[in-house]
Structure 1
Amino acid sequence: MEQIQAAIIQARGNAYQIGKKTAAAYTENPILQQFSQLSFLRNDYEEIKAIFSNYAPHLLDEVKGLADGLGITQQEAAVLYSGYNMPRPQALGCSAYVDQYQYVRNYDFSPTLYDHCLSFIAPEEAYGSIGYNLQLLGRHDGVNEKGLAIGLHFVSNSGYQKGLSAWSVIRMALDMCETTQQVIDLFKDLPHAAGYNFSVGDAKGAYAVIEVTPKKICVRSSIAGLSCVNHFKHGDLEAFNRHDMTSSAKRDNFILNTDTSKMTQKELFNLFANPASPLFFDDYDHLFGTLHTFAYSFQTRQLITALARGNLLEIDIEDWFAGRDLKIDTLYGTIKKEPIP
């Protein structure tokens, strides 16, 4: 067994101040060395500025805060952390369930390519949000102060083109959107780099799976809740799926055949977070181990989250957005690093 942890970042103020506080939390984080290797790959600063200025201008101020906090130029910070025109990921596994009452998901990947940060932010220029960081600025998943919850699910690199990463568009959705429909409209406008599913739900009871490719977007809905894994289900996008969808289909079938509609939030959380669950994985050496579970109730506004086999964080998000900071600064978990045959 090996211990993992995630720093809890709590930041309020303008976007620049949030960027600077985020940078301070990363100064000893070894993930910075991995991201620094991207700097020589491309220089798309003007394109990044144009996209952010159009859709989320405050993020340019946050990038400036990151730059000043890390002692690099704003151009370097934008290239490294904007999530624009990144190298193609070859894996990522995530499972989710969403209905009008609650949202839950697992994030599965490798701890060596994980930011190990959970951010609570309240920027003056955008909606506040709570979510796990990816590449500093982006988010794996999260919920914002309006009760919008969203997460990413990698599908494939088929049709890959220059564009925004999934974690960057999630951050934009959390910052700028209140409803599921607003996320759908935003995603139809943004330049996407790769094929991803996005599971999303809002406080008004609307929820969907947005199936995204660089060329086309389809929306999946249901009156009985939705499962979301790592393949497209819409007929127009099936050609973009990976050849081997065995794991994705197996997880999807498990969720579909489980009566999730009668589960409490804690029961649904445990369905995903229990190491004995078919939705929990230990294959970290092959980029497929469960790192965190994230569950949100649209009715009670209760957030439950934990790292793998870790201590639970349970909060009413309204408490934090009302100004009451958490009294802990780290989440802890334990992973079992044994490849699964």
Structure 2
Amino acid sequence: MEEIQAAIIQARGSAYKIGKKTAAAYTENPILQQFSQLSSQRTKYEEIKALFSNYAPHLLDELQGLADGLGKTQQEAAILYSGYNMPRPQALGCSAYVDQYHYVRNYDFSPSLYDHCLSFIAPEEAYGSIGYNLQLIGRHDGVNEKGLTIGLHFVSNQGYRKGLSAWTVLRIALDTCETTQQVIDLFKELPHAACYNFSVGDAKGTHAVIEVTPEKVCVLSSRAGLNCVNHFKHSDLEALNRQDMTSSAKREKFLLNTKTSTMSQQELFDLFSDPASPLFFEDYNRLFGTLHTFAYSFKTKQLMTALSRGKRLELNIEDWFTGNNFKVDKLYGEIKKEPIPEG
């Protein structure tokens, strides 16, 4: 087994202050070098500034805080961390279940391409949120102070074009939306770079799977619970799925045959986080290993999360958003890594 860690950031105040505190947590994080290699230097800062000014101007202030904290210009920080005009992402997994009571999901990928950071933020200019960082300001998944919960699920690079990464649009949604319908409306406006699913639920009990492509947005809704994996189900978008959907289809079949609607939050969390579960994966060398589980109850406002094989962090989000920090500064877990075959 190999230890895995995630730093916990707790930051309140201006977006600039939050950016600077985030920078301090990343100073020695090797992921910074990864993003330096990935980001396109052909990206024009003016395009990023115009887009963010329209939809999330406070993120420009956060990027300025990041820039000052990391010794970069704002233009450099925006190009590196805005999630705009990024190279095509590699295939990754993610499974989720959402209904009017619960949201639960796993994030599956490689630890070497993981921010190893969980942020609790309360900016003055936007809704506060709790979520796992991706490319510093982006999020894999999260819940905001209004109880809106959302996670991303990669589908394919079909029709890939210049636009925002899924983790940036997810962050903008957490910062600016209160309901599932508001997320749907927002996603119909934003320029998306790739094909992704988003599993979404809100405090009013409305939930949906939003299927997003660079050209079109489709919505799957139901009064019953919804499963979300890594392929499109809307007939208009099926042609954009990856050629090999074996794993995604297998996970969906398992969820369909499991009585998830009768489970408690604890039972759902265990279903996703148990290493013996069909939803838990350990193929880390092939970019498909479970890194964290994230679960939220819309009724009790209880958050549960843990890294792979790690101790669960559990809290009522209202307690944190009313100003009560906690003393945990890291999450710990373990991953089972097999040696990479030679030749």
The TM-score normalised by the length of structure 1 is: 0.99
SS where residue 43 of structure 2 aligns? coil
Per-residue deviation, 1:42: 2.2
Q: Which runs of 5+ in 1 are unaligned?
A: none
Per-residue deviation, 1:285: 0.2
- Between 28-37 and 139-148, the greater mean CA deviation after superposition: 28-37
Which residue of 2 is the match for residue 145 of structure 1?
Answer: 145
CA distance in 2, matches of 1:80, 1:335: 28
CA distance in 2, matches of 1:260, 1:288: 23
Indicate conservation of the 8 Å contact 1:282/1:339, yes or no.
no
Per-residue deviation, 1:224: 1.3
Structural RMSD (CA): 1.1
Residue type of the partner of 1:177? C
Per-residue deviation, 1:331: 0.1
Per-residue deviation, 1:112: 0.2
SS where residue 208 of structure 1 aligns? strand
CA distance in 1, matches of 2:219, 2:212: 9
Indicate conservation of the 8 Å contact 2:40/2:87, yes or no.
no
Indicate conservation of the 8 Å contact 2:40/2:79, yes or no.
no
CA distance in 2, matches of 1:199, 1:38: 27
State percent identity of aligned pairs. 82
Residue type of the partner of 2:32? L
SS where residue 304 of structure 2 aligns? strand
SS where residue 112 of structure 2 aligns? helix
CA distance in 2, matches of 1:117, 1:78: 19
1:318 is the counterpart of 2:318:
yes
CA distance in 2, matches of 1:77, 1:37: 13
- Report matched runs for 1:1-341 at 5 Å: 1-39=1-39, 41-338=41-338
SS where residue 291 of structure 1 aligns? strand
Distance verdict in 2 for CA 1:76–1:32, change over 3 Å? same
Residue deviations 1:57-79 (CA, integer Å, cap 9, x gap): 00000000000000000000000
CA distance in 1, matches of 2:326, 2:139: 20
Indicate conservation of the 8 Å contact 1:155/1:232, yes or no.
yes
CA distance in 2, matches of 1:256, 1:221: 16
Per-residue deviation, 1:338: 2.4
CA distance in 2, matches of 1:44, 1:309: 42
Residue type of the partner of 1:176? T
Indicate conservation of the 8 Å contact 1:291/1:307, yes or no.
yes
SS where residue 169 of structure 1 aligns? helix
SS where residue 323 of structure 2 aligns? coil
Residue deviations 1:110-165 (CA, integer Å, cap 9, x gap): 00000000000000000000000000000000000000000000000000010000
Distance verdict in 2 for CA 1:340–1:76, change over 3 Å? closer
Residue type of the partner of 1:133? N
CA distance in 2, matches of 1:40, 1:340: 30
Find runs of 4+ consecutive structure 1 residues off by over 4 angstroms. none
Indicate conservation of the 8 Å contact 2:26/2:32, yes or no.
yes
CA distance in 1, matches of 2:191, 2:111: 28
SS where residue 251 of structure 1 aligns? helix
Indicate conservation of the 8 Å contact 2:40/2:86, yes or no.
no
CA distance in 1, matches of 2:87, 2:36: 13
CA distance in 1, matches of 2:272, 2:338: 20
Residue type of the partner of 2:47? E
Distance verdict in 2 for CA 1:260–1:39, change over 3 Å? closer
CA distance in 2, matches of 1:40, 1:249: 34
Aligned length: 341
Indicate conservation of the 8 Å contact 2:43/2:85, yes or no.
no
Q: Which runs of 5+ in 2 are unaligned?
A: none
SS where residue 227 of structure 1 aligns? strand
Per-residue deviation, 1:339: 7.4
CA distance in 2, matches of 1:131, 1:119: 5
SS where residue 163 of structure 1 aligns? coil
